[in-house]
Every structure is written in C-alpha cells, then in structure tokens.
A and B are shown apart, each in its own frame.
Chain A
C-alpha cells in the first residue's frame, strides 16, 4: 500500500494534537514521508462534547507525500461530536445532512475507530443527534469499517491500580487510541515508548500511566485480533518529495550526500531559517512581535532561543513590533517581525518607512482567513495583494512565499539574504496550513547554506557618507550608529538623490521613486528561474500537455498531486515580487494557464497585470481549508 491518511478527532480537551503529532513523528522516524494538518477550533475550550469544540489532526504518510490528504483512510473519533463532524464535513450543522462523498472527511472504505463509551444519550444530545443510533442517522455507508472500542472503560481498566483520580485517568484515553493505531500500522513499541518519554520529559509522573495505557491499546489490537487487517507501508529511506523540492526550489542548492532528517512544523522552520541566516550573515537576530494566531509560535520559538543570541521582543502592539524591528535594523541588526493578516494591516505604514529609509527588514505574514478577524485558525491565501500593494505611495517591497512546512526554513533564510543584501523589506508569506503542519525536514549544515553578504559601506565614504549613495546595483550603502565618520540622518520623508537630505523637488521625487522600483526589480538577477514540474501521469489516459497549473505558496503539494492526476504541468511560484525572469517564457508555452489559489484570484490578477496578452483562467476555493486535489482535477477535466 502506498499512502494512508489518518485523522484523529475528538474534543478540544482530548489531546488530539498531541496524539496526532506523536503518531506523525514516529511515522517520520520510521522512514515515511509525512504531511500534517492540525485542524482546531478558534476557542481554546468550547463546551465539552459539542460540535464547535471538535479538534482534529490529520496526517498523510507514505511515499511521495504531497499534501496532508483530502480524505482520511483511518479515523479515530473520540466522541459523538467528532464522529458527526468527520462524517459530514462542513455540512455538520445542516439538520438533515447525511454522509456525502463531496463533504465527508473520510472515504467510503475507511476504517472508523469510535469510542463507544462516548455515545451515551447525553453525548448524542450534545452533538445534536436525534436518535440513539448515530451511525444510521449519519447514513454512514456499509463499506466503512466501523471498529467500536470502549476506550474509556479500557483506559480506566488499565489504570485501576494507579491510584490516579478519575479526571487524570480520562486524560489518558488518547494514548489508548494511539496504541491501537500503532498496532494497526505495526509500528515498533520500543520506539513509541521512547518517543512518549521524550514528550513527557518535563512531567515524569505522567510517563508511566500514559505508557501503560498506550501499550494496553497496542495489545488490545493484537490480542483481540480485531476484524481489521494491519496496514503495512513501504518505507524507502525517507528521501522523498518534500525535501527534494525544498532544496531545488529555494535556489539554495545545499545538497549533501549524507543527510539527517527530523519532522518540523512550518513556524518552527521559519524561526530556524532566521536563526541560520543571522549566524551566516554575522548579524544578531532581532524579532519585534505581538501575539497573533497563527504566527505566535514564531515568537515563542525565538523567545526561547536566547542560547542562539536571539533578541525577541514582545511589543505593546503590532505597530511597535515592526517599529522596534526597524529600530534594530537602523542600528545594524538582522531585524524581523512576525504577524498574520490583521497585523500586516497595522504594520503597513511602518513597512513603508522601511521601504523609504531603505532598511533591511523581514516581515513574516502567516496568513489566516480574513478579512478583519475572519477565521483566525484557518488557512487562506488572501493577503497577497496586501503584501504587494498595501501601502501608501509607490512602495515596492520583495514578496516571497514558502510552499511546504519544511521549506519555510529555506524561504525564511532567503528572505533574510535578500533583505540584507539589498536594503529592502522582504515580506515572507506562509499560512496556517504550513505554519501548524509538519513535514519531513532534511537538516542542513550551516556551511552548506549559501553565503549572506550584508550590504556594507566602503571605507572611502568615511566623512562623506550619506544614505542616498548607491552601489552599481542601485542598493544604498549601509552605515549604522556606532560607526565613526558615517553619521547621517535617515528619513521617511523624500530625500535628495545626491545629498540624502529632505527634498520636495518634483524631478528628484520621480527619480527616487524609480530608483526604489529599480532596486526591487534587479533582485530578479539573484533568484532562481521558474522550473516547471511535470505531472507524473498517474493515469496514462489523461495527458494534458497543453495545460499548465499555476500556483504559489502553500498549495504546491495539492497542485503537484493534481498535476500528476491530470498529466499536466505545474508552475509553482515562491518568488512573487520580483517574478522569476523567465516567467513569461514559461507561461506563454501553454494553451491553457489555470491559476489555482485559496482566494478569489489575487495571483491571477497580478499575473494578468504583468502579462496582459496571456489568457489566464483561475480556480479558487475560499473555505478556510487547503485545496482538495479531487476538486481541482474535476474542475480542470470539466472546464
């Protein structure tokens, strides 16, 4: 069997994220490629057992894993509400809804493990069931293999001699389910136990009971010989799609013969990309930030990395987050700010200041559903136009996007490199899907990463320096406080192109607008050309060589999988402003160009503006969820 999608779902308090992460990590350790999707409600704790409180974690594992999967093959449902949400998908609130292939989150032939102890009348009532038989009421097809397990009773049984109180015992239910899933996939218990010990390192008292429950869950599967066959995945060394793409596409080219792997979440990979870049550049990393979902984990990670000499400031607001970073950049640091869409709106004016003052600045936008407060925990690609244009005046900045949880590292690194070498703000776009999802990451060595040479200032300018003097590329020289003989005044006002002082001269303003524009455009010389990904023609009947799927950012995995099914090509963009130099050349080779995005067509409209002569179609979804590969394929086939 090649790839399997597993979905853990339960109440917010059931520990589904932990369970799912542990399973994914062990799977990765066993050599499988993984891609994960945590899917949790915005409320920290919605009322227990209700539909609004369902938290889920999905992982696809196997070989050539492009996405976290459209639908699950194996489901663990910890309560009635989770069962309902999983069976009905986004229709869970419709009073008459039944299982429907278009909406259900699992396949017709899925294995469905359900805690039968959590299907009492009270549980069913909380989940808004009207009858005593939830399976019948939901219309779950007979082809779904339902595995009823008395999880709660069995967990209590496992811990009856532990002396723990009832509440603490119930918290271990998820480990019984995890043990059962480990049995299903025939994962080795020794490694699982080791992993559990690692996870509970800071709470040693919890190791023994959780281990006991997990092992009992495993043995339950083995001894009762459930009427389910174990699943055996072929693992081939883990040198899979995920890391290969991350290396090739970022243009970093850090190939190594011997590699080590780990699984990493996108936000952590982003934070570590910044850390690596700072060390490589010989700069101290400064982060000014303010808590905002789903970007906060970047602040958490960097606040914890004082060992790496990172200075991470939790500012009084989003504006102070970017402004403290601008202050640190003015003083010579590698300065960053991390946020999501609403925070990016608040930072707009200050990003304009960094454009005008020509200071290096990395702005990370972990996109979420908008507008306004929108869908804080869901994924979307709706900030692209804001990143490109959301500032007053002619205000160009570099915009790049990561396209996998693992390559968040590479593009965070690239963002720093471009900013420091070109004296410009760089906006790095990721999103909820990448930020919270995990993927297999090939751990690089610093020596193998490309050099970063921050802009500096020639010695001969000592005593004559001003902030308008540029090098041959059009990038201004960087001098900062502490450097003797380079004292100067930087400004957000327009400056004289020669003297660097305030100027309102009309011709000078135009000259400066064009100089700032040119500075961004010349960065196209530093980024890799666009490479087309050829679909692998899963279905030999369908070959669409005239068709090009186009995407950007986090959708790469889904679009790659769709291109494989369609037998067509994919052009996936990580560099958006400036675009790769060969963009027109690539696009113009295809009869059909279909830009697929999780918005109403922002990248499509950007491409149309750049290439008005090309006919550009678009496919869009705006549901706060990643693409479903199946829907993209259907759209292309039918249209």
Chain B
C-alpha cells in the first residue's frame, strides 16, 4: 500500500516546525508498509497535540478525552481483537492524567501500538511542565522552576512489566518507521517513545541528539542481532562490566573492535540489560542543571521486544473455552436452568 492511502483530507494543523509533522508522515509510511487495510485500523487518542493525529489518518479514528485513550483503546482491542489498534498520546496525556491506564494497558499486555510523543511540555494548553520535564524546568506553571522529580518513561514501562519498548526521534524518520512497524509486529502492548521537539514552548529539548552534528556521537540505534556500535566513524561500542566494589552492572564505551562489544538481543526476557540500555543518557533529562559527564549514548530503536500472552487474546479465548463446554448458549436456555415453578 501507499502512504497516501493513509492520509485523510484534513489540513494538518501542527505548528510549522513541530516534530509531530515528521511522526505523522512516518506513521503513514509505516501503516503503508504494514499493509493492513484502512477499515481494519482504529487510531485512538486522548487530548493534546499528539492526540490530533487520528484526524490526519484515513483510518477509523477516535479523538477522545484527556488521558483516557488507553482505556478506550483497551475496550476497542479487547472487544474486537481482529482490529489493529493504535494509541496516540503525549507525555502529559499518558504519564500524568492517563498514568493509571498507561501502566495497566502495559501490565495486561493489551495488543496495542502506543506512540507516546515526549516533548517534555504541555503544548496545547500553551506551555506548562509535564511529568517528563527536568527538575528546575521553568514554565508558565513553574515560574521559579519545578521542584518535581520527572519520570523516565522507559523505566515506567519496564516497571509495569512491559514487553515492548522502542525510542525514536522525530527527525529520524527511517528509525521511526522501523520502530512503528516493529511495534505493529509485536503481539502485546508496544510502547514507542517518540522524542519530539515543541518548537514553540520547548524548542531544542532533544537537541543533544537531534542536532545533526552531534547525533552520531550522542545516540546509538539498536538493532536486534547486531553489535552495539555508534559514533560518527562507527568507532565506538558498548560493553558491560560489573563494578568490583558495588557489584552493580554498568555499560561502558569501548573501541568498536573490542571483543567485549555487546550484540543486541531485544528478545531476552530478562529486562536487566534492556533497562541499562534504556536508561543510558537519561540523567541529563532529570535536572535542568544536570552536570553530566557520561559518555554513554542515548539508545534509539527497539530496545525490548519479548513475547508474552496478550490480554485481548486471553479474554476471548476464555470466553470461547467456557462456551465450548457450556450447556446454555442462549437466553432461553439460560432461564431454563433456573429453579422455577408455574
């Protein structure tokens, strides 16, 4: 299929220069690559800039209320597992007002493809700090800087026993498309953290890796089965070592030809290494004034992709199993089982 088949007739109203434009384009490309017909795709969103996305996709769409996209998407997918269901959400919609639904859709492993647009700001309400804004962040609702500790989304996903986590960057469309396609192929709750720039209220929030000159040195694109190599000259690799004093495992940067360079295994059930990879470079997002000397790159691509039973399939299977052995299948058969008299 062609990306154009997934474009709706609506004029795209993201601000000029907003990272959401690129995500929208990547999503249309990914949907075309996946090739599921438009009428079998439902895109559910809450409220926020990201949640406008369904309007620009020529599929079934539902732009709902703030934070509840996850619960509504769970209802769509569980009742109709034959549909492909996407959820569009942001760091406020997903991690603040919708936090409860977010952790529970992950815990249950509902087969949803969740794009969580992280721009570390509330854009649609014109610039308040979000649960991913670094501590000390000055915004309209935190004129003296926030005093809150932020979430690291990956940590939340793994803490909720997530089976799929990918991270991508608005300006890197090929990686975004790859992550979205992988999210669709994964059976279970797939979280794709899309790092997007809010050109109006939080411009440059991801500049550390978004700047073209720095990106190769500051980020690594993980691919299952491939060596973890990065750098402008592909001269660096990632290895693991155990701190001899604390016995805490940590990742280190080694030369690309070092025998210790790790090979990425996204399918490993044990989340320990996935967590280390997902947390690389995240300290610099925790505080505005963070003085980070760390040379570890920020991980992009599919970090975790493991198999587990899905909620929607299990719910439907249980119904089918009970029905297969049940005596009554209709209302009249059911009432016939009652203790009754005339």
* Residues of A bordering B, CB below 8 Å: 25, 29, 31, 195, 198, 238, 258-262, 272, 275-276, 279, 284, 286, 288, 305-311, 313, 315-317, 319-320, 323-328, 330-333, 335, 349-350, 352-353, 357, 443-446, 480-493, 501-502
Residues of A within 8 A of B60 (CB): 480-481, 487-489
How far does the alpha carbon of A484 sit from the alpha carbon of B44 in the complex, in Å? 18
User: When A326-B75, A489-B54 are in contact, do A276 and B65 touch as well, CB less than 8 Å?
Assistant: no
Question: 11 A-B contacts, Cβ less than 8 Å apart?
Answer: A31-B341, A276-B331, A326-B64, A327-B71, A330-B76, A332-B80, A481-B60, A482-B83, A487-B38, A491-B62, A501-B10
Are A323 and B323 touching (Cβ within 8 A)? no
Is the CB of B214 closer than 8 A to any CB of chain A? Answer: no
Question: B55 is contacted by which of A31, A258, A486, A489 (Cβ under 8 Å)?
Answer: A489
Are A481 and B42 touching (Cβ within 8 A)? yes
Are B76 and A331 touching (Cβ within 8 A)? yes
Residues of A within 8 A of B316 (CB): 311
How far does the alpha carbon of A442 sit from the alpha carbon of B100 in the complex, in Å? 43
Closest CB in chain B relative to A585 CB, distance in Å: 37
Is the CB of B319 closer than 8 A to any CB of chain A? Answer: yes
Is the CB of B248 closer than 8 A to any CB of chain A? Answer: no
Contacts A320-B101, A327-B78, A446-B332 given; 6 further ones with Cβ under 8 A? A29-B339, A319-B71, A445-B332, A481-B42, A481-B80, A484-B37
Are A313 and B315 touching (Cβ within 8 A)? yes
Is the CB of B74 closer than 8 A to any CB of chain A? Answer: yes
Question: A331 is contacted by which of B61, B80, B100 (Cβ under 8 Å)?
Answer: B80
Are B40 and A308 touching (Cβ within 8 A)? no
Is the CB of B126 closer than 8 A to any CB of chain A? Answer: no
User: When A319-B68, A490-B62 are in contact, do A331 and B83 touch as well, CB less than 8 Å?
Assistant: yes
Residues of A within 8 A of B330 (CB): 279, 308, 446
Is the CB of B328 closer than 8 A to any CB of chain A? Answer: yes
Are B39 and A320 touching (Cβ within 8 A)? no
Residues of A within 8 A of B83 (CB): 331, 481-482
Closest CB in chain B relative to A602 CB, distance in Å: 27
CB-nearest residue of chain A to B75 = A327
Are A323 and B68 touching (Cβ within 8 A)? yes
Residues of A within 8 A of B65 (CB): 349-350, 352-353, 492
Question: A323 is contacted by which of B37, B75, B334 (Cβ under 8 Å)?
Answer: B75
* Residues of B bordering A, CB below 8 Å: 8, 10, 37-42, 44, 54-55, 58-65, 68, 71-80, 82-83, 100-101, 104, 315-316, 318-319, 322-323, 326-332, 334-335, 338-342
Residues of A within 8 A of B37 (CB): 484
Are A483 and B322 touching (Cβ within 8 A)? no
User: When A330-B62, A489-B54 are in contact, do A261 and B341 touch as well, CB less than 8 Å?
Assistant: yes
Are B62 and A284 touching (Cβ within 8 A)? no
Residues of A within 8 A of B61 (CB): 488-490
Question: B79 is contacted by which of A315, A323, A333 (Cβ under 8 Å)?
Answer: A333
CB-nearest residue of chain B to A263 = B339
Question: B39 is contacted by which of A330, A487, A491, A502 (Cβ under 8 Å)?
Answer: A487
CB-nearest residue of chain A to B324 = A307
User: When A330-B62, A330-B72 are in contact, do A25 and B339 touch as well, CB less than 8 Å?
Assistant: yes
A-B contacts, CB under 8 A, total: 188
CB-nearest residue of chain A to B52 = A502
Scoring A25, A443, A501 by chain B CB atoms within 10 A of each residue's CB, the highest score goes to A443
Q: Which label, helix, strand, loop or mixed, suits the secondary structure of the A interface? A: mixed
Are A490 and B63 touching (Cβ within 8 A)? yes
Residues of B within 8 A of A258 (CB): 342
Are B342 and A327 touching (Cβ within 8 A)? no
Question: B72 is contacted by which of A29, A261, A326, A484 (Cβ under 8 Å)?
Answer: A326
Are A315 and B331 touching (Cβ within 8 A)? no
Residues of B within 8 A of A308 (CB): 328-331, 334
CB-nearest residue of chain A to B67 = A319
Are B42 and A493 touching (Cβ within 8 A)? no
Are B322 and A306 touching (Cβ within 8 A)? yes
Residues of B within 8 A of A316 (CB): 71, 100-101, 104
Residues of B within 8 A of A315 (CB): 71, 74, 104
Residues of B within 8 A of A350 (CB): 65, 68
Are A491 and B63 touching (Cβ within 8 A)? yes
Closest CB in chain B relative to A435 CB, distance in Å: 19
Are B318 and A492 touching (Cβ within 8 A)? no
CB-nearest residue of chain A to B97 = A319
Are B338 and A328 touching (Cβ within 8 A)? no
Residues of A within 8 A of B340 (CB): 260-262, 443
How far does the alpha carbon of A353 sit from the alpha carbon of B45 in the complex, in Å? 13
How far does the alpha carbon of A320 sit from the alpha carbon of B328 in the complex, in Å? 30
Residues of A within 8 A of B100 (CB): 316-317, 320
CB-nearest residue of chain B to A352 = B65
How far does the alpha carbon of A614 sit from the alpha carbon of B307 in the complex, in Å? 67
How far does the alpha carbon of A501 sit from the alpha carbon of B83 in the complex, in Å? 23
Closest CB in chain B relative to A468 CB, distance in Å: 14
User: When A320-B74, A325-B75, A481-B39 are in contact, do A260 and B54 touch as well, CB less than 8 Å?
Assistant: no
Q: Which 3 A-B pairs have the closest CB atoms?
A: A327-B75, A324-B75, A307-B326
Scoring A272, A305, A492 by chain B CB atoms within 10 A of each residue's CB, the highest score goes to A492
User: When A316-B100, A320-B100, A487-B58 are in contact, do A262 and B339 touch as well, CB less than 8 Å?
Assistant: yes
Closest CB in chain B relative to A311 CB, distance in Å: 6
How far does the alpha carbon of A357 sit from the alpha carbon of B62 in the complex, in Å? 9
Are B331 and A275 touching (Cβ within 8 A)? yes
How far does the alpha carbon of A397 sit from the alpha carbon of B130 in the complex, in Å? 35
Are A327 and B329 touching (Cβ within 8 A)? no
Are A492 and B72 touching (Cβ within 8 A)? no
Residues of B within 8 A of A330 (CB): 42, 62, 72, 75-76
Closest CB in chain A relative to B157 CB, distance in Å: 16
Closest CB in chain A relative to B112 CB, distance in Å: 11
User: When A324-B74, A327-B75, A490-B63 are in contact, do A481 and B334 touch as well, CB less than 8 Å?
Assistant: no
Are B63 and A328 touching (Cβ within 8 A)? no
Residues of B within 8 A of A284 (CB): 79
How far does the alpha carbon of A490 sit from the alpha carbon of B78 in the complex, in Å? 19
Scoring A25, A262, A319 by chain B CB atoms within 10 A of each residue's CB, the highest score goes to A319
Closest CB in chain A relative to B111 CB, distance in Å: 14
Residues of A within 8 A of B8 (CB): 489
How far does the alpha carbon of A34 sit from the alpha carbon of B60 in the complex, in Å? 51
Are A328 and B64 touching (Cβ within 8 A)? no
Closest CB in chain B relative to A25 CB, distance in Å: 7
Are B39 and A311 touching (Cβ within 8 A)? no
CB-nearest residue of chain A to B41 = A481
Are B319 and A309 touching (Cβ within 8 A)? yes
Closest CB in chain B relative to A139 CB, distance in Å: 43
How far does the alpha carbon of A337 sit from the alpha carbon of B9 in the complex, in Å? 35
Residues of B within 8 A of A320 (CB): 68, 71, 74, 100-101, 104
Closest CB in chain A relative to B332 CB, distance in Å: 5
How far does the alpha carbon of A493 sit from the alpha carbon of B64 in the complex, in Å? 8
How far does the alpha carbon of A543 sit from the alpha carbon of B15 in the complex, in Å? 75
Residues of B within 8 A of A332 (CB): 80
CB-nearest residue of chain A to B62 = A490
CB-nearest residue of chain A to B59 = A487
